[in-house]
Amino acid sequence: MEARATHKYITSSPRKMRFVIDMIRGKSVDKAIEILHFNANHGSAHAEKVLRSAVANLFNKDENTKYEPSDLFVKEVFVNQGPTVKRMLPAPMGRAYRMRKRSNHLTIIVATKN
């Protein structure tokens, strides 16, 4: 049994989010939540929120079966690039530099060990 949760348009670059996501890939859910909760990176709060949502989706999917968080693991995690917002910054001598504000889409799939 598996469940999925996604969070779109997160305002951080995909490269920074992949650094956070690589720490929890393949780990048990309780260990992954612990890692994300005590991590200082900006993206870890978003990742923890999505992970908790995926676990809740699994519990709601099959309400008759009781799952322990230690019996669940992070089966698949991936970050895709979202839209990039382009802004202009003033530069010397009347020029302008382009500033790209990147975003990403995070998807977490949680499954049982059985």
pLDDT, average across residues 57-66:
88
pLDDT at 113: 87
Band of pLDDT at residue 72, cut at 50, 70 and 90: very high
Query: Which burial class, exposed, middle or buried, applies to 90 when counting CB atoms under 10 A from its CB (0-12, 13-18, 19+)?
Result: exposed
> Cβ neighbours of residue 109 under 8 Å, at least 6 residues apart?
2, 3, 4, 54, 74, 75, 76, 77
CA 56 from centroid of its chain's CA atoms: 15
Q: Where are the domains of the chain?
A: 2-112
- Domain 2-112 in this protein, CATH class: alpha beta
Band of pLDDT at residue 19, cut at 50, 70 and 90: very high
Name the average pLDDT for the chain: 94
